[in-house]
Structure 1
Amino acid sequence: MPAILVSGAANGLGAAFVEAYRRQPNTTVLAIDREAITSNHDNVRSWAVDVTDEASIDAFVEDINQLAIDLVIQSAGIRGLVPHLEDQKRGDVDACETLEAMDFATMNRTYQINAAGTFLLLRAILPNLHKAQDPKVVIMSSRMGSLANNFPGNRSAGSAYAYRASKAALNAIIRSFVVDVPEVNFVVCHPGRVETKLVKWKEEGAISAEESVEGLLPLIARWGKEDSGEFYDRFGETIPW
């Protein structure tokens, strides 16, 4: 029975992945979030895990003991908007992450959750991944973490300092995992602009988490060793780093 770990499982992409995978036969879903989710399904187990707290991660790893984890969907993360501006500038994402608006606290918190937290979680569960026959880790990153995509003249470039920096750092961390842990397949993915609680309102052009996940499931199923270290969008197209 394959075991699939989903982080950020309480809402957005994480919740959609939990729902999709729990429907697959003979599958156990391990759902983690800062607050444990409630599920009525026998094949869903949940834990409250703070990815920025090593003690919280260690307690989770101790609880799952020697369980083999076949697939990890790492979707825990935040958008990196300056908190007080989210209320003042409601509906205007750009105004909440400009050069002038960005502050150290937002930069630091976004990095801790999106990048350092991912590192801590993945390092802690490596023994569980090594117990699986063909372990795979799929990271929900963002095209905004691509340095190659952030250039003058690109209408979607610039600004978003906390989010871009944290996702670029996340991408770099995963590439190091690819080098240091070749027994595990690591794939970085841009799931699209998805309507989640990362932003307190729906962004223009955002798709539902369910639509994103529906398209990603067959891609995740087929990604293998030859895809480890690659960066794809939700259609399976390569994104430059």
Structure 2
Amino acid sequence: MKTVLISGAANGLGAAFVEAYRSQDNTTVIAIDKTPLHTDHDNVQSFTVDVASEHSIDEFVHEIKGRPVDIMIHSAGIRGLVPHMEDQYPDKVPACETMQVMDLATLTRAFHINSVGTFQLFRALLPNLKKASSPKVIVMSSRMGSIGNNELPNKDAGSAYAYRASKAAMNTIVRSFAVDVPEVSFVLCHPGRVETKLVRSKEFGAISAEKSVHGLLPLIEKWGKDDSGRFYDRFGEVIQW
């Protein structure tokens, strides 16, 4: 029996991963999210967990103490848009994350959830991961966290200060886990521009979460020790740091 733990499981990529893995034979899914998740599937267990709260994480880890986790899919995170700007311009994502409008509260919240929350959650779950025979952690990162990609003539370069910086920090944290915990494979992945609830509108060119997950599943199955600490796109191509 394989156990797959999925964070950010209530919507978007997380929900699509839950649906995909719960349909597999001999698989148990542990679904966690800040929003309570209700399921009728016998092989899905849900827990309310706030990755920004060390206490919430500790309570959850106590609940699953001693249980091996074979695969962890980490998709919990936020975009880091300035709230009052998003209220004014719900259909204009770029306007909500520029240098001119960015504020300390938005930056701090993005780092707390995307970067610090990732560190807290992974560190707390190491005992469960180490109980599995070939554990792997697959992290939903973003090409926007690539420093090398954030330059001209890339038309999407610049701005997005909270999201870019917090994802770049998260990438560095995951790379350190790959070095310090060689028993576990840690792989970073850009799932594509996916239609999720991270923003209120559908961004141009966004694909469905189901399409992204469908393409990622065979890659996740293939990725292992040789891929630990590496950063890929949804087609398995390497992304520069």
Please give the range of the TM-score, normalised by the shorter of the 2 chains: over 0.9
The runs of 4+ residues in structure 1 deviating greater than 4 Å are: none
- 1:134-149 to structure 2, matched below 5 A, reads 134-149=134-149
1:95 equivalent in structure 2: 95
**Residue-by-residue CA offset, 1:103-149 (whole Å, 9 max, x unaligned):** 00000001111111011000000000000000000000000000010
Offset at residue 90 of structure 1 (A)? 2.0
Aligned to 1:14: 14
- Which segments of 5 or more consecutive residues in structure 1 lack a partner in the other structure? none
TM-score, structure 1 length as denominator? 0.99
Are the aligned partners of 1:175 and 1:229 in contact in 2 as well (CA < 8 Å)? Answer: yes
Shift of 1:219: 0.3
Distance 1:212 1:41 in 2: 23
Q: Distance in 2 between matches of 1:148 and 1:203?
A: 23
Q: For 2:87 and 2:60, how far apart are their aligned partners in 1?
A: 34
The CA RMSD measured in Å over matched residues stands at 0.6
Cα distance in 2 for residues equivalent to 1:156 and 1:35: 31
Q: Check the 8 A contact 1:98/1:160 in 2, yes or no.
A: yes
Residue 54 of structure 1, CA deviation = 0.8
Instruction: Quote the Cα distance in structure 2 between the aligned partners of 1:35 and 1:12.
Output: 13
Does the Cα contact within 8 Å between 1:188 and 1:232 map onto a contact in 2? yes
CA distance in 2, matches of 1:26, 1:214: 19
How far apart are 1:151 and its partner, in Å? 1.1
Q: What secondary structure sits across from 1:80 in the alignment?
A: coil
Name the amino acid aligned to 2:12.
Answer: G
Q: CA separation in 1, counterparts of 2:13 and 2:209?
A: 5
Higher mean alpha-carbon deviation, 158-167 vs 30-39, is at 30-39
Q: Cα deviations across residues 159-216 of structure 1 (Å, max 9, x unaligned)?
A: 0000000000000000000110011000000000000000011111100000000000
In 2, the alpha carbon distance for the partners of 1:90 and 1:184 equals 40
The sequence identity of aligned pairs, in percent, is 67
1:240 is matched with which residue? Answer: 240
Structure 1 CA distance for aligned equivalents of residues 145 and 74 of structure 2: 16
Superposition pairs for residues 48-197 of structure 1, below 5 Å? Answer: 48-197=48-197
How many residues align? The count is 241
What is the CA distance between 1:87 and its match in structure 2? 1.6
Letter paired with 2:176: S
Alpha-carbon shift at residue 11 of structure 1 (Å): 0.1
Alignment of 1:218 with 2:218, yes or no, is yes
- After TM superposition, give the deviation of residue 36 of structure 1 in Å: 2.4
Report the more deviating stretch, 148-157 or 175-184: 148-157
> Match for residue 33 of structure 2?
33
Task: Work out the CA distance in 1 between the residues paired with 2:122 and 2:188.
Answer: 14
1:35, 1:47 within 8 Å by CA — same for their partners in 2?
no
The structural deviation recorded for 1:35 is 2.1
Q: Distance in 2 between matches of 1:229 and 1:90?
A: 35
Specify the code of the residue in structure 2 equivalent to 1:142: S
Cα deviation for residue 153 of structure 1 reads 2.0
- How far residue 15 of structure 1 moved from its aligned partner, in angstroms, is 0.2
Return the offset for 1:57.
Answer: 0.4
> Structure 2 length as normaliser, TM-score?
0.99
Structure 1 residue 89, shift from structure 2 partner: 1.2
Instruction: Please report how far the alpha carbon of residue 53 of structure 1 lies from its aligned counterpart in structure 2 after TM superposition.
Output: 0.6
User: Which residue of structure 2 aligns with residue 4 of structure 1?
Assistant: 4
What is the letter of the counterpart of residue 173 of structure 1? I
> Which consecutive unaligned segments of at least 5 residues does structure 2 have?
none
AA aligned to 1:82 is: V
For the residue of structure 1 that corresponds to 2:60, the secondary structure is: helix
